[in-house]
Structure 1
């Protein structure tokens, strides 16, 4: 495979004998200077003659494989995902005790003060509650910090609570903003180490056909990507989010959504301003019109308001006035209404991230207000059981992708990695099939047609046309001929970003 990071821009290349899109004709596609310059039917150009005329032009015979627009992950936490790939995996644990037992088997073999990080537990349906006592029993000396699959809760033992300055916490289960504060107080890997992990994660993403991501990593994401891209270009395009605590600095620098940063052309750009209206379904902090079953008479029975409507409008208005588009996290139906109301007040372009539970009257507002719905189809299949319990009677309007599409909304797929794996084909299969196991489709009326799912996975790009960026993916199987299992494991032959191979044998 080509070392993308160290190879200068290549001469023009012609991709010969390739199918142009799912179910498309056999063509030759010429790429030069990071753009598609020609698309010519094979019968017009002959079986082997190159489209271009440059003496050093290379012709790559793709032997009838399928060429698709490059795919994007429109919602990822890259450093978190890169780190999770090296943490204790707690996915699939069915109880707090089972999770603690998994910690017990991994707690030895390291210095007592070294933090054992784990990730991936989902406690919404557990028969027992996470508590520091369970972790203290299996790891009394070594600090343990376990992050929930949705990134909205952290479960710590007493040693780790003390390390984070929260020694008096009653349960060790810390949610939402306080959880992020606790994690930031714990020892971290060096920036150089994290940058290496992120570079590996980007190469792994390219191997699945990814040509770009929106990175919503918490913290100074723009600064982190300026550091990384100053030396080597990433294997994918990156749109780096801005968080409110860094908004003033971005404005002072004159940065706007789409501004190029780093030293490699337009591969790394400033992304949107990330704002939160509520929490998540698994932690029962998504802000809903109806109370959560069993929590009717408690504080927070309807979820958690992260940002008041007034502050939301204030922040969105300041960002939009300086060319920074907002991306508003909203999961519960009331949170989505609040977010859409804010967009209607400010009258700016932007995104709502997740849009998981929607009121029927809010569906057409996405198109009316030109607000993108950034959705994660794997969440629909991962959370179906939790939704059936806590959103009982309302799940017909949960993860309502078909309804959003019918209402004219623009959908963009992401993974929210590490909440679900950074793999666009899992999202496509989940959107098309509404199941990821042997059970029947969950609310099959919300399934998307394959072509619409592929477009949502490519940030709306449906065709490959002359003048387009040469962000392309070559797959071995026509998606139109693939069953759900094949879609999930789609064999990616090669990936090209900005006219250079980022994955494959070339």
Structure 2
């Protein structure tokens, strides 16, 4: 997601009377000059010459670097807004009943009913096709688990999509393939929904995402040329998303990406709009080492509660080393999914054997002796703080006795690791403020903090959400967010809940507005 100079960016914009969040003197009134998509000057209020007609009087609002969500599945997140949610169900019967109500309300019987969000890790009974058949007889129904690592289908859906598993419950690769087939949308609709989701993220202050959607990377080249009207945020005839997108490469597309000579940071070919081509670029290679906690497929040193299973090692060590070497030598960065402690160790071993740097996605359970290896190997921990509070009961049950080294954010930072934050949307909401609040408070819905010794300070969490930038400086790309109030003040005044709902006045990507609240000038 590195920025490149945008020759078509607005020539200059002066942000007058702002307070720099995270700066040594955050209450000092400043002016910030943007030119060509970059921050070119920061000075005391009233001391910079104003470019003609391009001045925004920010009225003392707070300015911070743009927020980045380092792990999303953007098309899944967009589609889930249109699917019935069963995440609150406490049993398969309750989930099936919720789907039946939703299906009746839809009034359409000619398509597949795709639901989302079942969480069976704490259910007393496993979901089966029979539960869906009883509530929705004869209907093709496919339901994604909250963690996207399981899929639950009815008998009719199994027949239609060639599922041979008699229970109707699939995991990992088989589940992801079924969800891809069942969730296929009419041509163009998925693009519209995805771009709308990007715009909604911009309204929350997001300026960049790493999109690890399982899809053809060239899908984003097509979206990049979807033109927005001149009066839309970031419009002026520009195309593509309202934020920067680093497009992840899954293993099945690796050969095609390498054959095209593409490296991480390159614009995707076929995108012709210059603004969009700057924003939509090649991201990392995505590799799975293990599964998930919710599906009990994360690879763990200790067996899961009530059984002898340790989860799944999805990519053997020699294969992982080969993939890391191949990608790195071709100029691609890498993102290795690893959740269980044995999976995280396997990922770190792979990086050490390959002699390259990269990222571990999730790192939900890390053995104490592996914590310092992140910094030593130059491996970034890409974590999702909402998972720590959503999965606490699952962890207490299935990782009983091992939660002391679960979601160890403070330990990783203390050991010198580079830690970045994300959502894993749609597993959690694509909302950086929720992630920040979860990282700082380790709680949600008024519950007592879970392992509060692993919380981050607000400053640490903001830096981890802003691509490592602690505050706005000269030489930064002009990916910026204007808030009505410094988050520190919001937290002090309103407590934990207030941090989740700041007033976002404006968002800039490369000096172009992608979101402006009503009444904000320039």
- CA deviations on 1:199-225 (whole Å, 9 max, x unpaired) are 1000000000000000000021x2111
Contact kept in structure 2, 1:325 and 1:348, CA below 8 Å: no
Unaligned runs of 5+ in 1: 1-7, 46-50
Q: CA deviation at 1:24?
A: 4.2
- CA deviations on 1:244-264 (whole Å, 9 max, x unpaired) are 111111111111111122333
Unaligned runs of 5+ in 2: 1-7, 227-238
1:147 aligns with 2:158: no
Matching residue of 1:31? 34
Contact kept in structure 1, 2:32 and 2:39, CA below 8 Å: yes
Q: CA deviation at 1:134?
A: 0.9
Matching residue of 1:226? 221
Q: CA deviation at 1:187?
A: 5.9
Selected match of 1:276 from 269, 285, 288: 288
Deviates more, 1:96-105 or 1:418-427: 96-105
1:384-463 equivalences in 2 (<5 Å): 384-463=392-471
Deviates more, 1:182-191 or 1:59-68: 182-191
| Aligned-residue RMSD, C-alpha | 1.3
Matching residue of 2:510? 498
1:246 aligns with 2:249: no
Matching residue of 1:349? 357
Off by >4 Å, runs of 4+ in structure 1: none
Using the alignment, how far apart are the partners of 1:162 and 1:287 within structure 2? 31
Selected match of 1:235 from 242, 245, 257: 242
Matching residue of 1:48? none
Contact kept in structure 1, 2:14 and 2:50, CA below 8 Å: no
1:202 aligns with 2:192: no
1:289 aligns with 2:301: yes
Using the alignment, how far apart are the partners of 1:209 and 1:54 within structure 2? 25
Matching residue of 2:94? 98
Contact kept in structure 1, 2:288 and 2:336, CA below 8 Å: yes
Contact kept in structure 2, 1:30 and 1:52, CA below 8 Å: no
Using the alignment, how far apart are the partners of 1:206 and 1:182 within structure 2? 31
Using the alignment, how far apart are the partners of 1:316 and 1:472 within structure 2? 33
SS of equivalent residue, structure 2 residue 188: helix
TM-score (norm 2): 0.91
Using the alignment, how far apart are the partners of 1:199 and 1:52 within structure 2? 37
1:83-122 equivalences in 2 (<5 Å): 83-108=79-104, 109-122=106-119
Equivalences, count? 486
Matching residue of 1:333? 341
- CA deviations on 1:91-146 (whole Å, 9 max, x unpaired) are 22111111111011122254433111111111100122111111001111221111
Using the alignment, how far apart are the partners of 1:113 and 1:164 within structure 2? 15
1:133 aligns with 2:136: no
Using the alignment, how far apart are the partners of 2:170 and 2:483 within structure 1? 43
Using the alignment, how far apart are the partners of 1:280 and 1:135 within structure 2? 24
SS of equivalent residue, structure 1 residue 64: strand
Q: CA deviation at 1:409?
A: 0.4
Q: CA deviation at 1:53?
A: 4.8
